[in-house]
Structure 1
């Protein structure tokens, strides 16, 4: 890059960044850092540019996800952000893998909530072969009865386990990077960043879609956040969930942390500009950290969870439905349209509350 070209890039506006992306190009690392470091009074301008990219590739559609925590606690890993980790003193439910009836019940609730994707999540370093067989058997039943898109989050996977999940009908595997390679050892010591990349490679090799994202707010720098965004662009994952840390009392990173909602919007916009064609999901912590600005996140992101998270509750599904409708956006769930979904949901839940505590996970 010539000196003149570099100087122009240094002063590239957000609109010009969007133009580059919409013309098939990529923004630079410096551009991505400028997005995160921009003044708060530029957030609306930034979101306008991010929305241009989102609208080009996803229109006004919103994909809904529903999560079920299939196995809670009992984990030998020491991930500092997790209430289920080894050494955590958080007051959470702990139980082994749920039986088929309870996992099918979760799928039924996902279907009734008009989620396109049902996420089956299990704590632990990785599943036993018996647990994989159990998930495979349940997935076959879910596919037959509800036809849902299935994402499994089971930890580190061996090649034969990934093959069995694929053969059973699992569409996608979630395995988050969580943070940058540089910062990884600051939050966990029982597995490496390379272990996570290996599982993603293993799943890709057998034809599974990849879902991988990060957790913002663990003490990482803006450089770390950009590193994750660019690494996920390199990996060409199908879906990116962005979690904003929820400090849970008793977890290693359970101390109070305040994420500015405007910063959260900058993160979402940066991920949209660096991963323009990838499904971008607002995941755990949106209610706590985006607060009254949740709806604005959907100008960059195009999917969200309509359920609770790991060991923390989400907002009522009716509030999510209304938020999407008020934006003028549409829920994508098979052949249903958002207004029809809203009408059906209101009839099914006259009190306006469609959320229950199911100890689901943000993946």
Structure 2
């Protein structure tokens, strides 16, 4: 058994680069790294990150294409049926609004444009409307298009892929073991199935986690390994930004150092994958936000769904100050 005192982060990083798949025991030790060893942990994570991604940072922008009106009871979400948070409620934006969002993504220097809808699953008309807008966007820009529309069928997945959607997101959010503590209106397996359908249709699978919902460290490790087993290409790591009016309101158990340990864990477990610092980074990482990019290679730029993000100019400056660079994009 490996003890914390015998964990050599740099050596472990080197083994990962040589193809080693770390064990759950080792992953748990990474997540339990003492604060005074945090920089050593990040140095190892950066060694892995740099090997696969250099100092490039991918920028992604979200458009909240349909807000509120959701029948699901996810405890973290301000748009769910059990939420009393005062959020905007509107049906799917029209085609021109979705296309205008792509133009805004380019202005923010984003290479990926994420069309996100609230709701359990999209209607056939909503799938068709998103597909129509995506075709126009792909004809006029080189933006990568990611869709996050809820649970989808195999038929929906093929229609979106044929329209030019390159990536589909559906987060696992937490471990299978405790999923029912977070949501009762759909299952963990429903989420796995949606990611599988997207992958089978030829879209790049994107799935991630929300950390800080009362889970144990073992749960974080379990979901990191589940995503490795599913072989997803992109992993958004969200940190709970608890919103008044939701079942998880007032839950604030994270500190910036633990958030950095979690990001490093995902890099060691999924070394070749895009790791994205996602929702809640501003309120949970606070002044340590720049250090997150030593493990992660991607961020969201601008606002999230119902919460505000950092100003794009601040993100650009943060990347520049690190000596990193925004991954090239083209209009």
> TM-score, normalising length from structure 2?
0.98
Q: CA deviation at 1:102?
A: 1.1
Q: 1:309 aligns with which of 293, 304, 307?
A: 304
Aligned 8 A contact 1:90 1:248 in 2: yes
1:174 aligned partner? 169
Aligned to 2:59, which of 64, 67, 76? 64
Q: For 1:298, what is the secondary structure of its paired residue?
A: helix
Kept in 1, the 8 Å contact 2:142–2:330? The answer is no
1:99 lines up with 2:107 in the alignment: no
Q: How does 1:270-285 map to 2 (within 5 A)?
A: 270-285=265-280
Tell me whether 1:49 sits opposite 2:71 in the alignment: no
In the other structure, the counterpart of 1:38 is: 33
CA distance in 2, matches of 1:108, 1:278: 27
Say how many residue pairs are matched: 331
Match for residue 140 of structure 2?
145
Residue in structure 1 matched with residue 193 of structure 2 by the alignment: 198
Q: CA deviation at 1:11?
A: 2.8
- Per the TM alignment, residue 129 of structure 1 is displaced from its structure 2 partner at its CA by 0.3
- 1:215 is paired with a residue whose SS is strand
Question: Within 2, Cα distance between the matches of 1:12 and 1:262?
Answer: 18
Deviation string 1:38-90 (CA, Å, 9 cap, x unpaired) is 11011001000000000000000000001000000000000000000012100
Q: Distance in 1 between matches of 2:69 and 2:98?
A: 19
| Correspondence for 1:296 | 291
Instruction: Tell me the residue number matched to 1:86.
Output: 81
Per the TM alignment, residue 10 of structure 1 is displaced from its structure 2 partner at its CA by: 8.5
Paired residue for 1:360?
A: none
Match of 1:347 in 2: none
Residue 16 (1) aligns with residue 11 (2): yes
Where has structure 1 moved over 2 Å in runs of 4 or more?
A: 6-12, 333-336
Task: For 1:295 and 1:251, locate their aligned partners in 2 and report how far apart those are by CA, in whole Å.
Answer: 29
CA displacement 1:11-40 (0-9 Å, x = unmatched): 331112101101111111111100111110
Q: Is the counterpart of residue 330 in structure 1 residue 325 in structure 2? A: yes
Deviations along 1:95-149, one digit per CA (max 9) or x if unpaired, are: 0000011111111000111100000000000000000000000000111122210
The alignment status of 1:229 with 2:224, answered yes or no, reads: yes
1:290 counterpart SS class: helix
Deviation, structure 1 residue 7: 5.0
Matching residue within 204, 208, 212 for 1:213: 208
Taking the aligned partners of 1:7 and 1:189, their CA distance within structure 2 comes to 38
Q: Distance in 2 between matches of 1:235 and 1:17?
A: 23
Contact kept, 8 Å, 1:258 with 1:289, in 2: the verdict is: no
Whole-Å separation in 2 of the counterparts to 1:38 and 1:7: 13
Contact 2:4 2:29 in 1 (8 A): no
Aligned with 2:179 (options 165, 176, 184): 184
What's the offset of the Cα at 1:258?
3.6
Query: Pick from 93, 104, 108: which aligns with 1:109?
Result: 104
**In the alignment, which of 234, 240, 259 is matched to residue 239 of structure 1?**
234
Aligned mates of 2:329, 2:287 — CA distance in 1: 30
Q: Is residue 2:162 matched to residue 1:155?
A: no
SS at match of 1:34: helix
Distance 1:60 1:253, change over 3 A: same
Unaligned runs of 5+ in 1: 1-5, 337-363
- Please list the CA deviations of residues 306-340 of structure 1 after superposition, one character each: whole Å capped at 9, or x if unmatched: 1101100001111000000000001003269xxxx
The structure-2 alpha-carbon separation of the partners of 1:230 and 1:10, relative to structure 1 and needing over 3 Å to count, comes to: farther
**1:33·1:222 contact (CA, 8 Å) conserved in 2?**
yes
Supply the distance in 1 between the matched residues of 2:236 and 2:105 (Cα, whole angstroms): 18
Contact kept, 8 Å, 1:36 with 1:222, in 2: the verdict is yes
Aligned match of 1:254: 249
Q: TM-score, normalised by structure 1?
A: 0.89
Between stretches 62-71 and 8-17, larger displacement belongs to 8-17
Residues 44 and 99 of structure 1: is their aligned pair in 2 closer, same or farther, counting only changes over 3 Å? same
